[in-house]
Amino acid sequence: MFVLPTVGLGVIASPTSLPFLTIEVFDNESEFITDTSSPDYTIVHAKDTDKLYVWDGDAWVIFNNN
C-alpha cells in the first residue's frame, strides 16, 4: 500500500481516502476571509493578495507566495 503524508498537517492517509484537490480562486480576499463554515483544509487563492489560504477548521492559515 502506498501512503502519502499531507504537508504540515500531521495526517497520513492512503490515496484512496484523499478528496480530489481543488483550489478556489477569488478576486478579493474579502470575498471569503470571514467565512467560517468552509470544510477543513479548503484551499483558496486570492488574486488581490497573491497568497494561498488554507482553512484548518478554526482559522485561515496564510501562505505568502513571495
pLDDT (tens digit per residue) in 47-57: 999 899 999 98
Chain centre to alpha carbon of residue 35: 13
Query: Mean pLDDT for the chain?
Result: 78
Residues 25-44 have a mean pLDDT of 91
Cut 0.75: pTM above it: no
Strands 4-5 and 12-13: antiparallel
Contact 28, 44 (CB under 8 A): no
Residues 3-32 have a mean pLDDT of 67
pLDDT at 26: 94
Domain boundaries 19-64, CATH class: alpha beta
pLDDT at 39: 86
33 pLDDT more than 90 = yes
